[in-house]
Amino acid sequence: MVLSINRAAMRIVREMLDCQDELGVAATRLKNGATCIDCGVRSPGSYRAGSLFVETCLAGLAETKVTLGRVGSMPVPFLHLTVSHPPLACLGSQKAGWVLRVGDYSAMASGPARALAMKPKETYRRIGYRDISAFGVIALEADTLPDEEVTDFIAEKCDIDPENLYVLVAPTRSLVGSVQISGRVITATIHKLEEMGYDVLRICQAAGCSPIAPVKRTGVEAMGTTNDCNIYYGSVSLVVEGYDPVFAKLPSKTSPDYGRPFARVLKDAGYDFLKVDSLLAFSPAEVTINDLECGEVYHFGGLNADVLLESFGVL
């Protein structure tokens, strides 16, 4: 594929740079020339900024829209998204496949610059993709902004000049953080299929929606509510070439941990995300599969308003 996902993402980044006040974000140019866009560390962010954050992470291969829906009887904002080239957009770009640690700084890194650094290599081998770009766009889920040491490290791994690096940053406990995790409902599903050994190149198109979690006070609380949005109320529809029995295992209710707010599950796992059952952590509430080969439609799972409202802490 000749498409450069980093060059495609730059179109969205330029919109964010041109509309900082309207979006509630703030861009800073570091001493090494790297550009950092604060989407929630010190800046308030916005729903639109969250949508653009998601579209950037998906390398410009997705369209998003925020609407008002309901969880049970309660009005809640929802993020809707459609994704073209799902294996590339989701696994090659949005997947948080790079655990970034530089000195005392740590963050989960996603976005198209992962393709320049080949993080992880196995994913790009599986989808058969390599990007060539002088520009790199990375998104960090972190509570603090990166400095020159961090951005130098990222640029070196991506083999680009620091002045051509653009870094988007949003904490989990921020409005943009809430939006961007709801925007991962499709990627989590496809990543689960990847882990199950399914040929993800058979996924042709994808659509999904998930509630946007209320902003919480602490990162642990935010991690719970944001993940619960996908686990208990996230819907995904995949257009595929050929049915596979693993589809029935995609919904979160297949996990023995299903039925409890994610924050409680995470506490029992010693706050180690990697120890949480992947059948829960990377699962939507429901999945619809449209098989192009036979024209059949399959539906698995269902929504659970009770657990999600408990997670939100609705009074």
At 80 the pLDDT is: 98
What single DSSP character describes residue 217? S
Phi and psi, residue 21, nearest 5°: -65, -45
Q: Give the whole-number percent of the chain exceeding pLDDT 70.
A: 100
Q: Quick: pLDDT tens for 19-37.
A: 999 999 999 999 999 999 9
Please report which confidence band the pLDDT of residue 281 belongs to, taking 50, 70 and 90 as the band edges.
confident
Q: What amino acid occupies position 214? A: P
Query: Alpha-carbon torsion 262, 267, 268, 273, what sign?
Result: positive
Phi-psi region of 248 (alpha: psi -120 to 50; beta: other; left: phi over 0): alpha
Short-list 246, 239, 242, CA closest to 283: 246
Average pLDDT of every residue of the chain: 96
E-only strand ranges, 241-309: 286-291, 297-301
At 280 the pLDDT is: 85
Q: Quick: pLDDT tens for 223-267.
A: 999 999 999 999 999 999 999 999 999 999 999 999 999 999 989
Averaged pLDDT, 99-123: 97
Averaged pLDDT, 165-177: 98
CATH architecture of 5-312: 2-Layer Sandwich (3.30)
Short-list 186, 183, 195, CA closest to 279: 195
At 45 the pLDDT is: 98
Averaged pLDDT, 264-282: 84
- Whether 165 shows a pLDDT value over 70: the answer reads yes
- Whether 278 shows a pLDDT value over 80: the answer reads no
- Whether 170 shows a pLDDT value over 90: the answer reads yes
Q: Which two tokens stand for residue 38?
A: 């604060």
CA angle 234–237–238, rounded 5-degree value: 135
Of the listed ranges 168-172, 180-184, 274-278, the one predicted with least confidence = 274-278
- Whether 131 shows a pLDDT value over 70: the answer reads yes
Averaged pLDDT, 158-173: 98
The number of CA neighbours under 13 Å toward the Cβ of 104 is 4
- Whether 114 shows a pLDDT value over 90: the answer reads yes
Segments making up each domain of the chain, as ranges: 5-312
Short-list 212, 145, 230, 136, CA closest to 176: 212
At 146 the pLDDT is: 98
> Whole-angstrom Cα distance, residue 302 to residue 288?
10
CA angle 112–115–118, rounded 5-degree value: 145
Please report which confidence band the pLDDT of residue 1 belongs to, taking 50, 70 and 90 as the band edges.
low
Please report which confidence band the pLDDT of residue 205 belongs to, taking 50, 70 and 90 as the band edges.
very high
Short-list 208, 211, 210, 191, CA closest to 200: 191
**What share of residues in the chain are helix, strand, coil (percent, to 5)?**
40, 25, 35
